[in-house]
Structure 1
Amino acid sequence: MGIFHIFLVAVIQGITEFLPVSSSGHLILLPNLTGLSDQGQAIDVAVHVGTLGAVVLYFWSDVRLALLGLPRLARGRADTKGSRLALLLILATVPVVVVGLVLSVTGLSDAMRGIAVIGWTMLGFGILLWWMDQRGATGKTAADWTLRDAMIMGLWQAVALIPGTSRSGITITGARALGYERSEAARLSMLMSIPTIIASGTLLGVKVIGSADMQVARDGAIAAALSFVAALLALKLMMRLLQSVSYTPYVIYRVALGLVLLFIAYT
C-alpha cells in the first residue's frame, strides 16, 4: 500500500470521524471515485486506534471520571458521577453493538455500501440535522444526561450503521432533539464514540489477527499516527466553532455532496 494512499485514508478517517459528515461514507467513496484499491481491514483497525486516541486525549477528564467509576459500577452501584457516566455510556452503546452484529451476520452491511445509499443518507440526514439544530431547545447540558436520553441517543447511533449517515451527525441530531446545547450535544456524541470505536475496532482486530506482517504493521502505524493528528485537529476546530456557529456549514456540505452522489448514481 503506497504512502499517499495511507495518507488519504488516515486523514479522511481522522477528519470525518467526529465531524457530522460520515467517515464510513467517505472511505467507501474513496475507492469508488478514485479507482484506488480498498485499504483493507488492518488499516481500518489502525485508523480507528488513531481516532480513539484523539478523542480520549481531548476528553480525558470525562474519560478518567468514567474509568474511575467502573469498579463501583461493577459492584452494582451507580451513585457517583463516574459510575453513572460509565453506566450511561454502556447503555448508549448496546443498540449499535446489537444491530452491528445482526448486519454483519446477515451480510446487510455490505449490501448498503453503494453510492446511491450514501447519497440519500448524506442528503436526508443532513437536512434532519439542520432541522433539529434549528428547532431544538438549548437548555440541557451533559450533567442532565439521563438513562432515557442515553438509550434514545443509543438508538439514534445504531442508525449510523447505514453508510453515509454519520455516527457523530446522527447522535448530535438526537441530542439536539432532546434539548441539549450544541456544544454539549457534540460532547456527548464524542464520549459515546469511545466505547463504539473500541467495539468496532475489536471486531475488526479479531478478523485481522494472524494475517498481519511487518509491512502491514508499518503501514498501520503510519495510518494510526496520521489519523490521530487529523482527528485531534478536527475535534479542536469543531468544538471551538460551536461556540459561535451552528451545524449549518456541515449540513451545506452534506447536501451538496449528497446531490452530487445521487447524480452520479442515477446517470
Structure 2
Amino acid sequence: MSTVEVIILAIIQGLTEFLPISSSAHLILPSAVFGWQDQGIVFDVAVHVGTLLAVMLYFRHDIGQLTLGWVHSLSGKHSMESKLAWWVILATIPAGLAGLLAAKADVVDTLLRSPWIIAFTTIVFGFALWWADATAKQQQSMDTLSWKQALFIGVAQALSIVPGTSRSGITMTAAMLIGLDKVSAARFSFLLSIPIIVLSGGYQASKLLSEPERFDVTGIALGMGLSFICALVCIHFFLKIISRMGMFPFVVYRLLLGVGLIIFLGWFAG
C-alpha cells in the first residue's frame, strides 16, 4: 500500500466505524472505484485496534464501572452496572456466532462484498434508521434495558456482517425502535462495539499467526494512529450532533451514497 492509500483508508475507518453509515462499505468502495488492491488482514487489524483504543479511552469511566460491577456480580453483588455489563455480553453473542459461521462458510468475501449489495443495504437500512428516528418513542435510558431488549439489539447487530448495513447503524436503529433515546442508543452501540471489535480483531490476528506475512511497520503504525485520532474526534462530535439534530443527516448521507453508487455502477456497466 502507498502512503496515500494508508492515510485515506485509516481516516475512513476512524470516521466511519462508529457512525451509522457502514465502515466496511467505505473500506471496500475505494478498491472498487479506484482499483486499489485489498488492504489485507494486517491493515484491517491495525485500524480496528486504533478505533478500539479510541472508544475505550472515550468511555473509560463507563468501562471501569461496568467491569467492576460485573466482577462483583460473580460473587452475588448485583447492581445497575453489573446488569448492563451482562447485557453487553448477551448482546454480543448473536453477532459473534453469525461472524464465526460467515467466516467458516466464507460468504462475506465471496458473496457479500459486491458494490451492488453495498448500494442496496446502504439505502434499505438508511430508511430503517430514518423510520426508527422519526417514529419510535425514544424515552428510555440505557440503564433501564431489559435482557430481552439487549438480546434484540444483539440479534440486529448480527445483520452487520453484510457490508453496507453498518454495525453502529443497525444497533442504534434497533435500540431506538425499542424505546431508547438517541444518545442512550448511541452509547450502548459504542459499548457493544468493544467486544465485537476484540472478537473480530482476535480472529483476524489468529489468521496472521497461522499465515504469517510481511508487512510495513511504518504504514501499520500510521494507519493505527490516524484511525485512533479520527475515531476519538468522531465519537465526541457524533454524540453532540445526534442530541441536536437526530439521525437525519446520516440518513440523507446514506441515501445519497447508495443512489450515487447505483448511478456509478450503472454508468460503468453500460
TM value normalised by structure 2: 0.94
- Match for residue 5 of structure 2? 5
SS at match of 2:169: helix
Residue 139 of structure 1 corresponds to which residue in structure 2? 139
Question: For residues 156-195 of structure 1, what are the structure 2 equivalents within 5 Å?
Answer: 156-195=156-195
CA distance in 2, matches of 1:203, 1:92: 19
Task: Find the counterpart in structure 2 of residue 53 from structure 1.
Answer: 53
Q: What's the offset of the Cα at 1:120?
A: 0.3
**Match for 2:61: what amino acid?**
S
Distance 2:41 2:115 in 1: 20
Aligned length: 265
Cα displacement string for residues 95-126 of structure 1 (whole angstroms, at most 9, x for unaligned residues):
00101111111111111000000000000000
Counterpart CA distance in 1 for 2:93 and 2:158 is: 9
Answer yes or no: is 1:256 the counterpart of 2:263. no
Distance 1:247 1:239 in 2: 11
- Contact 1:45/1:201 (<8 A) preserved: yes
Aligned residues of 2:80 and 2:143 also touching (Cα < 8 A): no
1:101 aligns with 2:100: yes
Deviation, structure 1 residue 216: 2.9
Q: 1:103-252 maps to which residues of 2 (within 5 A)?
A: 103-110=102-109, 111-209=111-209, 211-213=212-214, 215-252=215-252
Question: 8 Å contact 2:41–2:204 — kept in the other structure?
Answer: yes
Name the CA distance, whole Å, in 2 between partners of 1:50 and 1:244.
28
Q: Shift in Å at residue 72 of structure 1? A: 3.0
Alpha-carbon distance change, 85 to 5 in structure 1, aligned in 2, over 3 angstroms: same
Contact 1:129-1:173 at 8 Å conserved across structures: yes
CA shift, 1:9, in A, is 1.0
Change (3 A) 1:212 1:69: farther
Cα distance per residue 1:118-149 (max 9 Å; x no partner): 00000000011001100011210111111111
Structure 1 vs Structure 2: percent identity of aligned residues? 37
**Superposition RMSD on alpha carbons, in Å?**
1.4
CA shift, 1:264, in A, is 3.1
Q: Per-residue deviation at 1:212?
A: 4.5
Is the alpha carbon distance of 1:78 and 1:5 closer, same or farther for their aligned partners in structure 2, counting shifts above 3 Å? farther
Aligned-residue offset at 1:85:
2.0
- Give, as a single letter, the amino acid of the residue that structure 2 aligns with 1:96: A
Check the 8 A contact 1:96/1:157 in 2, yes or no: yes
**Structure 1 Cα separation of the partners of residues 77 and 47 of structure 2:** 33
Which whole-Å CA distance do the structure 1 matches of 2:139 and 2:129 have between them?
Answer: 18
SS in structure 1 at match of 2:30:
helix
Question: What TM-score comes out, normalization by structure 1 length?
Answer: 0.95
Q: Which stretch shows the higher mean deviation, 63-72 or 153-162?
A: 63-72
